[in-house]
Structure formats: C-alpha cells, structure tokens
Amino acid sequence: MGLAVKWVSSLPVSVLGHFFGDSLFVFFSLVMGVSCLICQRRSFLGILLSLEVFTLVLYFLFFMVWGGACGLSLVFLCMSVCVVSVSLGLVVKLVRGVGGDYVSGLCL
C-alpha cells in the first residue's frame, strides 16, 4: 500500500491530471451511452447507435491502457465494422419486412 502511494506521489501533476481527465472522459462516455440506450429502447436503430458509443469507449480504452497497440486496435476496429454492417443489414431487412424498426411492433 505504501509503495503505491509513493509511486503515485512521485508522478508529475501533468501525468496524473491527464490520466484522471481521460478516466473522467471514459466514465462520462459510458454514462451517456447508458442514458442513450435507456432513452432509445423502442427503436433498433437507436439501440445500435448507443451500442456504438460503447464500442468507441472500448476503442479509447485500448489506447489508454496499451498505448495504441496497432495490431490489437486494427483487429478490434475490423470486428466492430463487421458487427455494424451486419446489424445495419438486419435493421434494413426488418424495416422492409415489418414496416418500421420499433421494438413494440414485433411479435417474437
């Protein structure tokens, strides 16, 4: 415990401010994503857009934690693009088949 306090107290103020500022940004982005998910729960497109906020927060966390590891970030970006394209195709098929992307109009 004492070693961790010594390590944190030995860091310059600019490094600590940068880290806590980034952490605050990540927390604020997660809160905004959850609030958008709650507000847009009736529409599939709104749900997908709020899930994209979570993807962007995860991508930002990759750069914060691993310092922008190129291989991992490119794989994550490719997978997120594939997920978005498949889900957008499903939304288009749903709109053409049912007439809207509202969750309340579906009988599952």
Rank 50-54, 68-72, 75-79, 85-89 by mean pLDDT and report only the highest. 85-89
Residues 6+ apart with CB under 8 A from 62: 68, 69, 72, 73, 76
What pLDDT does 101 receive?
A: 75
Looking at the 3D structure of the chain, how many domains does it have?
1
Mean of the pLDDT values across residues 94-98? 84
Cα separation, 92 vs 61, in Å, equals 31
Q: Kindly report the pTM of this predicted structure.
A: 0.62
Mean of the pLDDT values across residues 79-87? 88
Cα separation, 67 vs 57, in Å, equals 15
Q: Contact at 8 Å (CB) between 71 and 80?
A: no
Instruction: State what percent of residues in the chain have pLDDT above 70.
Output: 71
For residue 59, what is the domain's CATH number?
A: 1.10.287.3510
Q: Give the domain extent around 96.
A: 2-105
Instruction: Please determine, for residue 7, whether its predicted confidence score (pLDDT) is greater than 50.
Output: no
